[in-house]
Structures are given as structure tokens and as C-alpha cells.
A and B are shown apart, each in its own frame.
Chain A
Amino acid sequence: EAGVAQSPRYKIIEKRQSVAFWCNPISGHATLYWYQQILGQGPKLLIQFQNNGVVDDSQLPKDRFSAERLKGVDSTLKIQPAKLEDSAVYLCASSPRLSGETQYFGPGTRLLVL
């Protein structure tokens, strides 16, 4: 069974530029999560989807971050404009159900904002 796929693996941009990350969850997984992991910290949830609907985006900085999962499968997370403090690893995870007892993580995208 293929795991969660993410691209790109690494991205370097300058502040005020925009960037987008892509995630393809495990086939059949209805629930998809985006996390931000700052160096030295545990992952922090940004947004949670159930199929193509947003379940929880309470911790997403909506003035600059946006995410979509239009067809209920793959998802895109965008930052526009980026700030220095957005430098982090962005992790995508999926789980079969909304209860999310076990989440399966992708390799992450490491973003550096200069």
C-alpha cells in the first residue's frame, strides 16, 4: 500500500513570495490533515479535511495560509505572502475515519523563508 505522498520535499523562497505544497493521501482515506512543525517542536495542526470539506481550520493563519481539497483526494496548502517565521516542515497526514485514531504521515516539505 502506497503511503502519503508530498511534494516538493524542499523549498527555499524569499519573504513575501508565495509557495504551494501538494499532498496525496493514502487511497481511501477520507480524513486529511496539514501540520506545521517548527524546529525543536512537535507538529501543530493547521487544518483538517473530511473528504472535500473543512472540519477544523481554527489554527490556520487565514490572512496568509489557504488550503483546499477540491475532489476529496489530494490537497494543496498555500502560503501568500510568506514570512520568516513560516520556515518549518509542513507535514501531511491521513486517516481512514474522522476519529483519526491512527494518522499516517508523509515525508514532509521543508520550507526555508529568507
Chain B
Amino acid sequence: AQSVAQPEDQVNVAEGNPLTVKCTYSVSGNPYLFWYVQYPNRGLQFLLKYITGDNLVKGSYGFEAEFNKSQTSFHLKKPSALVSDSALYFCAVRDMGSGAGSYQLTFGKGTKLSVIP
């Protein structure tokens, strides 16, 4: 089974500084990797995904992620953090489901990002 790990429960960064939220993965075959964000009392919002192609993926709200095959990592980055970026961030990998032809997302535990004014 595929899996992802988010080694940090919480990341604190000052507003205006660059931010990085870490994710490592374990897959067999080519990985399909995702980042989602969850604001308080709201569902998950899709930020970006890596399927194939350029290792640097650009997504919503100025976020980007770097796919690194040798380090099996897919870290989320933003050049300049905003207070409004404070939220819970989830890395996910597409995995085969038990049903024929089905796929599911397997999520990490999440990283809480706090951007300090």
C-alpha cells in the first residue's frame, strides 16, 4: 500500500517569510501526489497535484510543491507567507482501492501551519 508521512505536527513562520511544509512518500510505481488545505470548520480544498512532468508544480493561492524522486519527498512551499495561510495542510497519495479499477487517496496526519503577524 502507498503511504505518506508528514514529519511535523506544527510549523510556525513569520508573515512575509518563506514557508515549507514537508511530506515524504512511499509508493510502488509512479506516485500521484496531492496537497490539500483545511481551514477551521471547513472541508478540504485542493491546492495542487503531481502526476508527471515538471518537478515543480504550481497551485492555488501562490503555493507550489517540489517533487524529488531521489528523496521521495513532495514538500509544499510558498515564497512569502500570509496570516491567512494559517490552516491545516494534508499531503496525500493516490492508492489502489480494493474494488476493481478503483483508486483512493491516502492522507498524511496533517501539519498545522501558523503564520505569525
Contact = CB atoms under 8 A, between A and B. Distances in A.
Contacts, number: 74
Interface in A83-114: 91, 93, 98-108, 110
B43 A101 contact: no
B102 A104 contact: no
Nearest to A97: B103
Interface of B: 32, 34, 36, 41-46, 49, 51, 90, 92, 94, 97-105, 107-110
A24 interface: no
Contacts of A91: 43-44
A13 interface: no
B105 A103 contact: yes
Interface in A1-60: 4, 6, 33, 40-45, 48, 50, 54-56, 58
B102 A48 contact: yes
27 contacts: A33-B104, A40-B110, A41-B110, A42-B90, A42-B92, A42-B107, A42-B109, A43-B105, A43-B107, A44-B107, A45-B105, A48-B97, A48-B99, A55-B97, A55-B101, A56-B98, A56-B99, A56-B104, A58-B97, A58-B98, A93-B44, A100-B102, A100-B103, A102-B34, A103-B46, A106-B43, A108-B43
